[in-house]
Structure 1
Amino acid sequence: MVQVQTAKLGGTAKDVVIGKVGTGLMLMTWTPTPTPDEQAFAVIKAAIDAMPPGVKMLLNSSQFYAHDYGTANLELLSRFFEKYPEYADKAFLSVKGGTKPFALQPDVTEEGIRTSVKLCADALRGKKKIDLFEMARVDRTRPLEDQLKQLAALSKEGYFDHIGLSESSAKSIREANAVVPIAAVEIEISPWSYEEETRNVIATCAELGIATIAYSPLGRGFLTGTIDKLAPGDMRSHFTRFKEESMKANKVFADALKVIADKKGITSATLCLAWVCSRGPHVVPIPGSSKPERIISNIEAGSIQLTEEDLAAIDKAIKEHEIVGSRYVDGVPKEVLHLWG
């Protein structure tokens, strides 16, 4: 029996109960060698099967999780739910969009948003409805209020049920939630991505009753302590934290976390997930894996209770180790990456 802690979403989804640890699907398709269907299906099925009755598994997907920034991830889900139609109601599907087709460039025009939403829905071929749709970045080239009102209208048209935000600042969350009820906000949270605005977002979401979905809770895998170098074509090679010299410097931090994990008798991955879960009852990490057994251990990490001593040790490690490299690409203004909109 898998030990499963639960969490609740917010806004119009406030009555939806999900597992405390969800599942990110990005690297099943955003990789030079996509995960074969049989293997991917086993992972998704294991994640959903682990949920007790009445609890949904949060699956996190996107319009652009592919090497060509296309809808391969959603197409994978479409094939899964076609094979296992009885699983559609057991999953809560979150989808990021709001970019131009086959591009990472945001398009928040009226036509652009409708095109994105329809593209995502079409890729699923009616096999699973989008439960939560979120714009991948907060782009101010069009008033945020207008974008949200359009999303509310598209929801009424039946494309999706709930509205979320991604990479949003605390200020934008308040602004958005005053226009439409926000069910969830997706941001990066891990021991090496815990800046002041991250903490502000977590606190604001707690105040407003909004779930905080934590992507890359394992530092894109680096904090597991198992990555020494990247394979050719790995998307992480573009990030400055994964440059050779940066990885060498940041390994000291990963090693410090491993010492704490070893002392507790758990893996570094479990320690990081338990730490992210400890940020609040509304914080839901979404690690990904291509192995069913790893998915189960990720889910069970939500039941690990960290002691005050554990938390103090992790906090000390965070304060004492300066991370080399930014979350994405050094030298590129955050306005270009649309971070913390």
Structure 2
Amino acid sequence: MSPVNVPTTIAGKAVGPIGFGMMNLTLFGGIPLDEAIKPMKTALDNGANFWNAGTLYGPPDANSLHLLKHYFTAYPSDASRIVLSVKGAYNAATHTPDCSPEGIRASVDECLRVLDGTKTIDLFECARVDPKVPIETSIATLAALVREGKIGSYGLSEVNAEHIRRAHAVYPPAAVEVELSLFTRTVLAQGGVVDTCRELGIPLVGYSPLDRGWLAGSFKTLDDLAADDFRRGWPRFQPGAFESNVRLAEEVEKVAKRKGCTSAQVAIAWVVKQGVLPIPGSTKSERVAENMKMVELTGDDVAELQAAVDKTEVVGDRYPAAFQEYLSK
């Protein structure tokens, strides 16, 4: 697959080559709002103006939308600089989507209520496809919300090629969000999600470009994870899987050392090389600044990374069993 340019516009607005994922700022709680907005400001100051938020990133009274309200209250002039993508229509307590017309409208209305006029929603995504609702019905509702001016556009998340084509036939999406990293490359399969989006001219956004920290270069043994770290319950961090997966992380680290940059920068640059806008996230301003520094991969660099991928097996699913039902297949 030939590399293509990373999107420069989404929802009709200019975006930087690297975006910012907000999940960790609110999902686990414990970060005061005044502290949480610091990495957000760092992201924008370093050119990351495409922000990805979610109603599922934290409890109903303390998720991304509440943090965004706090940020834009503190920095009202930044509202026009940010291209805001929000995932919703999803019950985080039961891990189930509700993409019925009523469910989508309720989710959008709640987002707008919390934002309270501080920022518009440039792009709204149903976080997962709802198997109980034809995707055409969900998209018709989202298209109506665009026409009503409640959202600027809509996107798709965790979808397959068929979903994309069916949605596009009703109303073209402004973006498709996928999981993409050197560890997770399923969407690159011939005729799959990436090919379909390129054919239809849909920008791609890549979440988890560091595969939940694997490609940050900080894991050598399981002891590097705190005893209460949520990742200890995830398949790729299980004993046996961990020891296999660390080999790929070490190969990426070799490329980074040769180039004089970090493993994270190499991993993010690889996603950019696929023509996909990566949205790494962090709770630390210094790590955000690191992630936003563009690194150029040469043809030799890409070939070396491909050779590492070809000889290294990634062991374990990308999500635990509780989340599998609504992942794209």
Same fold per TM (> 0.5)? Answer: yes
Shift of 1:69: 6.2
Checking the alignment, whether the CA contact within 8 Å between 1:261 and 1:267 is kept in structure 2 is yes
Query: How far apart in 2 are the matches of 1:166 and 1:77?
Result: 21
Aligned to 1:226: 218
Query: How far apart in 1 are the matches of 2:37 and 2:142?
Result: 30
Aligned to 1:294: 287
Shift of 1:328: 0.7
Distance change (3 Å), C-alpha of 1:197 and 1:77? same
Task: Say whether residues 1:18 and 2:18 are aligned partners.
Answer: no
What letter matches 2:31 in structure 1?
Answer: T
Checking the alignment, whether the CA contact within 8 Å between 1:6 and 1:17 is kept in structure 2 is no
State how many pairs are aligned.
321
Distance change (3 Å), C-alpha of 1:40 and 1:169? same
Shift of 1:101: 6.8
Checking the alignment, whether the CA contact within 8 Å between 2:6 and 2:274 is kept in structure 1 is no
Shift of 1:104: 2.3
Checking the alignment, whether the CA contact within 8 Å between 2:127 and 2:157 is kept in structure 1 is yes
Checking the alignment, whether the CA contact within 8 Å between 1:133 and 1:163 is kept in structure 2 is yes
Query: How far apart in 1 are the matches of 2:55 and 2:13?
Result: 23
Aligned to 2:141: 150
Unaligned runs of 5+ in 2: none
Aligned to 1:250: 245
Q: Residue deviations 1:192-235, cap 9 Å, x none?
A: 00025666212221222211110000011111121343334433
Most deviating of 17-26 and 156-165: 156-165
Query: How far apart in 2 are the matches of 1:260 and 1:251?
Result: 15
Aligned to 2:90: 99
Task: Say whether residues 1:65 and 2:57 are aligned partners.
Answer: yes
Q: Residue deviations 1:2-48, cap 9 Å, x none?
A: xxx973345xx2x31101100001011112x4333233222111222
Aligned to 1:77: 68
What letter matches 1:260 in structure 2?
Answer: V
Q: Residue deviations 1:97-154, cap 9 Å, x none?
A: 1113754211122222222112222222221111100011122311111111111112
Q: Residue deviations 1:47-103, cap 9 Å, x none?
A: 22233xxxx70111101101x466522101110101110010110110111113754
Unaligned runs of 5+ in 1: none
Most deviating of 305-314 and 122-131: 122-131
Q: Residue deviations 1:302-322, cap 9 Å, x none?
A: xx2211111111011111111
What letter matches 2:46 in structure 1?
Answer: A
What letter matches 1:24 in structure 2?
Answer: G
Checking the alignment, whether the CA contact within 8 Å between 2:271 and 2:278 is kept in structure 1 is yes
TM-score by length of 2: 0.91
Most deviating of 21-30 and 291-300: 291-300
Give runs of aligned pairs for residues 1-341 of structure 1, distance below 5 A. 7-9=7-9, 13=11, 15-31=12-28, 33-51=29-47, 57-66=49-58, 68=59, 71-100=62-91, 102-195=93-186, 200-227=192-219, 228=221, 229-280=224-275, 283-301=276-294, 304-329=295-320, 334=324, 336=325, 338-340=326-328
